[in-house]
Chains A and B, each alone.
Chain A
Amino acid sequence: MTAVSRKVLARALAAVFAVALAVFIIGPLAWLAVRAFADSWTYPNLLPDGWTLHWWEVVFRDRSLGIAVQNSLFFAPLTVLVSALVCLPAAYAFARFEFPGRRFFLIGLFAANAFPKMGLFVSLAALFYAFNLMNSILGILIVHVLGTVVFMTWIPAAAFAAVPRSLEEAARDAGASKLRVFFSVTLPMALPGILVAAIMSFLASFDEAQGTYLVGAPDYMTMPTQMYSLVLNYPTQVAAVFSILLAIPSVALLLAAHKHIVGGQLAEGFQIK
């Protein structure tokens, strides 16, 4: 009897916790989303005074906001591509070869995440000034790629390492060349991990604001950096509309890759082996 009532109590506590978490996580987003369609809003009403699509018009008309969208959609895929070219071979090497300095390299990669971001960007400035990378596309690209190196190396490395060697050997034994084995056995099996890495990199680039602002502003504004000035210079509703636009690609990716990310591909990558 007491065991049953204790179970019920535990479930009730868990439900309360879940509702609190929902308010904590979703509440601010929902509150912001409503604002995008709000005419005006009088405190302390829980709903706006009236509804309008006016703010969407403002955003779509504004050229500078459009350019920010374009810039973001330019940098994010480019970052993923460059990062993949640089990092994926390394990921394979970490998973499959034993070479001198391997462990040192792995720890070295960690350095990219061990330095708090803002400090790192401030330190980068001298180099960027010296090589004229300030306010340049290449400069922004470097900042973005730096933020993805860890994802692009560690997560695919764990995915490659998880492919059993015996499967590769079986394909070799069946007469496949090394290259053929890689493309028809290893790569397909590691693909979910690589996909997660690509998505995380895309989001990291899409989300990058501090470094882009320091290096690119005001010449190159991406969507997140545009938000900095938007918040100061426009009505709150415009920022709300812009926020929704900025969240669309992310949420689409969330729905597409939710299973793999929650499935541990991400977590696997963060343990040095």
Chain B
Amino acid sequence: MTTGLHTGSGAPARPAPAASGPVQPDAPGRRRPAGGSARAGQARGFVMALPPILIIALFIGVPIVLAFGFSLGFTGGLNHTIALIGQNVHEAQGLPTFGAYGDMFADRRFLGDLIVTVVVTLVSTAVVVLLAVAIGLYLKFADGVIAKALSALAVVPLFIPVVIASWAILGFYSADGFLRSVAAQFGVDFPVWSFTMVTVIIGSVWTSLPFATLLVTSGLQAVPRAMIDAARDAGASFARVVASVVIPMAGVPIVIATTFTAIGILGSFTVPYFTGPNSPNMLGVDMSNYFSAFNQPQQAVVMAFVVFAIASGIAAVYVWANFRSAKENAGKQAVR
């Protein structure tokens, strides 16, 4: 297959593959050695796939390299303008400087916000995934009005801009909000959740739920009925069927949903900005403040890299899960 790679249609024709079927007048297209057309396909595929990759490289890859340099005090080249505009910029004298990192890690407020960010991300992601799995399992094993209602409800937030959602949630749990009003009817003094981390978590869960639910539900639906029947036939209870067969077989989509949810919440700004307290709050808000209000872009970039470091750990899990599923699929195809 690889020997005739470079030949085009002009080369002495190899015998056409036996499978090419009845004789057709447009022989040249078919007669071309398989290696040649495969190579053309490779080149075309590469070129077609390039534009989005270039956009990502140019507007994510390059900026991140630049920003990393900037955070270490390299203020020349493309970083020149931002270094001029920003205040409290640490400049590298030949060697990188960790001044900006030092600023941030000496800042108790930053450290507090870092902990808050991690905690909110963990708690919200856990709640989102639990809800998504619960809804997905219900849809898998039951149908009827409740199932329809659950699946419709869970996707609603997908279509509501985050800004509105945050604003609506703030009002719902505020001092004169719905929950407190209802509680007051019964003479109960319900706590005010607005501008606390509780609403930040509620808002994060609210906005992340549809995406996770769609991924998890579709993963659970993909578990064949016969696999579940086989487990029940073997004597497994419902709980055992779920734990030993359904969840493991939908493991990859669940991991993907978890990582996407966690990364989304980790970098969120709107929800904590609207519904959270002034301090402590999540790093997304801090970054925006340092960048715009305090005009200290270098410190903002430092925070970004701290968040990236956490995210890269999560992303690694995602990539691992995907490769694992690709491997399993490859195995299946090899048998067929």
Contact = CB atoms under 8 A, between A and B. Distances in A.
Contacts of A146: 55-56, 59-60
Interface in A218-264: 223-224, 227-228, 231, 236, 239, 243, 246-247, 250-251, 253-254, 258, 261-262, 264
B116 to A, nearest CB: 15
Give the one of A14, A107, A122, A264 with max B CB within 10 A: A122
A250 B81 contact: no
Contacts of A198: none
Contacts, number: 321
Interface string B275-296: 0000000011001100110000
Contacts of A167: none
B52 A247 contact: no
A223 B167 CA distance: 14
Given A125-B297, A270-B215, A44 B185 contact: yes
Interface string B193-226: 0000000001000100101001101110100000
A105 B52 CA distance: 9
Interface stretch (A23-31, A54-62, A185-193): A23-31
A14 B184 CA distance: 28
A142 B221 contact: no
Contacts of B175: 43
B270 interface: yes
A31 B329 contact: no
Given A44-B176, A149-B56, A94 B42 contact: no
A268 interface: yes
B301 A122 contact: yes
Contacts of A15: 146
B178 A110 contact: no
B319 A25 contact: no
A112 B297 CA distance: 21
A102 interface: yes
B288 A87 contact: no
B254 to A, nearest CB: 11
Given A44-B184, A122-B297, A267 B168 contact: no
Interface in A23-53: 24-29, 31-32, 35, 41, 43-46
Question: Considering the complex of A and B, which 10 residue pairs feature the smallest CB-CB distances, nearest first?
Answer: A116-B267, A97-B45, A119-B304, A44-B184, A267-B218, A123-B67, A93-B48, A99-B45, A28-B172, A28-B168
7 contacts: A29-B168, A32-B172, A97-B45, A118-B267, A122-B291, A130-B78, A224-B162
Given A116-B267, A119-B267, 7 more contacts: A113-B260, A120-B64, A126-B78, A129-B85, A227-B164, A247-B160, A272-B322
